[in-house]
Structure 1
Amino acid sequence: MKSWNEMKELQPLVGQMLMNSFKKDRISHAYLFQGDRGTGKREMSLLFAKSIFCRNRQGADPCQECRDCHRIDSGNHPDLHWIEPDGQSIKKDQILHLQKEFTYTGMESNRKVYIVVDAGQMTVNASNRLLKFLEEPSQQTTAMLLTENGQSIIDTIRSRCQLLAFQPLNVRRIENKLEHEGISASNAKLLASLTNNLDEALEMNADEWFANVRKLVIQLVEVLQNKPQEGLLFVNDQWMPHFKERKQLQRGLDVLMLWYQDLINDFLDREDAIVFTQEKEKREQSSMHWTRQSAAKCLSYILEAKRKINQNVHPNLVMEQLTLQLQR
């Protein structure tokens, strides 16, 4: 996103509020961007940082051509600091390092900006250190905390930030954009159900690894329906070798969830909500195996499996347990 008008199309209220910050010269010392994955939080924070540092700004819009704008794009701006989870969490030492960096004068100006990605994953100690940092704000410092769940941020930090709620994007709008890029209607529907981020959707579509995810999900469902005694064998021999990383396994479980959501939508005659539009015959076979109630239970089992993956439970154990649950 290169301009605030573009961001306003994506997030009208948040975009307008941040634009007004520049027009009125009232930039807060700390913001909390909260909203679902893919709703534009990272893009908004980048554009906001550019508007702060750009020396050729036109109104609120950065020029996108100067040295500062280019270095922010490349991740090399000396006065913009990113903090992202180290493994499963953001640790105290990361915040301590940030504090140390901020004791130094800005490399090229007195302004400094830091962006904390997945701020809800801060450890208790990291949260307490950040709180102390926020309690003594410098007028030349701006913080942006990004999270999918605002309630995961401790109240004392929330109270020191300007809260900006990012709204879910219109799925149909994403589908239309993907189809405009030449993606088939069925793939556009699947991709738009998995992410609100257009660039991420295009990357997934071009990824051969992702193309096989859809096939594996349908194969797993067919094994569970027709040869349940081979479920564990399929998971260990075909499913797990494809989903080698936790992030990949989460993606596979997301697609599996969509299959069971389709079953429930089928039972409720919500044809427009069906994602696997080309697999009608297979879906009809599944609806003879699972009732609406059992499909809903399967969704809860998958959500629990996703939670365990985030908690560092061994992926093979999680998938084996899930397979046994889905067979019932």
Structure 2
Amino acid sequence: MINSWQELETYQPRVKRLLINSIEKQRLAHAYLFEGKKGTGKRNIGILFAKSFFCENLQHAEPCNNCRNCRRIDSGNHPDVHVVEPDGLSIKKGQIQALQEEFSKSGVESNKKLYMIVHADKMTVNAANSLLKFLEEPNANTIAILLTEQYHRMLNTILSRCQLVSFQPLLPKAIEKLLVDEGIPGHVASLVSQLTNDSEDAITIAKDDWFAQARTKVIKLYEVMVTRKGQAPIFVHTEWMMHFNEKEKQEIGLDLLLYIYKDLLSIKVGNEDQVIYHDIIQQLKQNALQMTQRSLTEKMSSILEAKNRLHANVNPQLLMEQLVLTLQEG
């Protein structure tokens, strides 16, 4: 949960600058369209914006997070902040009409009102036209925040009445920091941050016991290939295939294995700060001494080729057995 604009510098610096500038100069648009991929923080930042709009102790655009308004917005109980989400697969005209009726009343506690429409691209045509009338005649001190992952599906007439705020995919370092802030161990956070740029997915993966076990299995397979080469095919049969028992999981397993060899290459070329499996870096340093850059590049290519072959209905156990034999060469 992002509670301050300062925190946002790590995740969405351009969004931070645009919105803080509007708040500090008191030049708020009557409607914003937050667009970007899933997990880029749109809803979280919409809540932060609402707190800045209603905070009783605002300091240079930063909400205090302690006043009655901030606390009620965090808990979803502020009477003048309304969130509309799809009812089933779409947002219906009746939902927009109910919102308009609510906003025709004076503010319960002040003359300010704010509403957020989640997945605004899922409005029916009638709902969108109903909202359009609302946007064409904005009330003073009323702010609309529309959230979407697919703004190209929205009416141009609605787009033209909103200030567009684009959210960029999160960088691995930003995902890693977010996970660490959530209490995820650093060695898990660094690995998960390579798998997704969706903050919500990242948190789900990092807290999944299956993923923690997958990471352990991958490290163990690597150690077996290095120290007990003849045991690697047996390990694939007895442990790997039991855990990575579906195509999607097998892909994740190959990705996790690939990152070990990327780490070895990073160490080899002097980029230790880029190592992902930093909890086993000493072991990787020793192993890297026995390998050339060329052999590491070839091993990484073999893993990527195996990923491609997974989609060609190749027997996954046979694929893994062939792969470990290839990785043990050189």
TM-score (norm 1): 0.65
Name the residue aligned to 1:303: none
Give CA-to-partner distance per residue, 1:166-204, whole Å, 9 cap, x none. 11111134236646855363664235523542x764454
Q: Which letter maps to 1:99?
A: Q
Change (3 A) 1:258 1:172: farther
CA distance, structure 2, for counterparts of residue 3 and residue 186 of structure 1: 25
CA distance, structure 2, for counterparts of residue 118 and residue 44 of structure 1: 15
Change (3 A) 1:80 1:178: closer
| SS at 1:5 equivalent | coil
Give CA-to-partner distance per residue, 1:51-95, whole Å, 9 cap, x none. 111121112111111100000000000000001122222222211
1:1-328 correspondence runs (5 A)? 1-175=2-176, 178=179, 181=183, 183=185, 185=187, 188-190=190-192, 192-197=194-199, 201-202=202-203, 204-208=205-209, 292=308, 298=311, 326=313
CA contact (8 A) 2:10 2:174 kept: no
CA distance, structure 2, for counterparts of residue 16 and residue 114 of structure 1: 22
Q: Which letter maps to 1:87?
A: G
Give CA-to-partner distance per residue, 1:228-287, whole Å, 9 cap, x none. xxxxxxxxxx97xxxxxxxxxxxx96x676568789999x9x978999999x9xx99976
CA distance, structure 1, for counterparts of residue 10 and residue 159 of structure 2: 27
Name the residue aligned to 1:221: none
Q: Which letter maps to 2:173?
A: R
Structure 1 residue 8 displacement after superposition: 2.9
Change (3 A) 1:56 1:30: same
Change (3 A) 1:182 1:132: closer
Change (3 A) 1:137 1:256: farther
| SS at 1:120 equivalent | helix
CA contact (8 A) 2:172 2:193 kept: no
CA distance, structure 1, for counterparts of residue 116 and residue 144 of structure 2: 6
CA contact (8 A) 2:42 2:147 kept: yes
CA distance, structure 2, for counterparts of residue 162 and residue 262 of structure 1: 41
CA contact (8 A) 1:190 1:276 kept: no
Task: Pick the structure with greater CA Rg.
Answer: 2
Structure 2: segments with no counterpart, 5+ residues: 217-235, 237-244, 267-273, 281-295, 316-330
Structure 1: segments with no counterpart, 5+ residues: 216-225, 227-237, 240-251, 299-324
CA distance, structure 1, for counterparts of residue 86 and residue 213 of structure 2: 29
| SS at 1:28 equivalent | coil
| SS at 1:58 equivalent | coil
Change (3 A) 1:41 1:182: closer
Change (3 A) 1:75 1:287: closer
Give CA-to-partner distance per residue, 1:19-66, whole Å, 9 cap, x none. 111221111100000111221211211111011111211121111111
Q: How many residues align?
A: 266
Give CA-to-partner distance per residue, 1:109-153, whole Å, 9 cap, x none. 111100011112222222121112111111221000111122122
Identity %: 43
CA contact (8 A) 1:80 1:114 kept: yes
CA contact (8 A) 1:30 1:160 kept: yes
CA distance, structure 2, for counterparts of residue 15 and residue 38 of structure 1: 16
| SS at 1:86 equivalent | coil
CA contact (8 A) 2:69 2:78 kept: yes
Q: Which letter maps to 1:76?
A: N
Q: Which letter maps to 1:105?
A: S
CA distance, structure 2, for counterparts of residue 208 and residue 49 of structure 1: 35
TM-score (norm 2): 0.65
| SS at 1:169 equivalent | coil
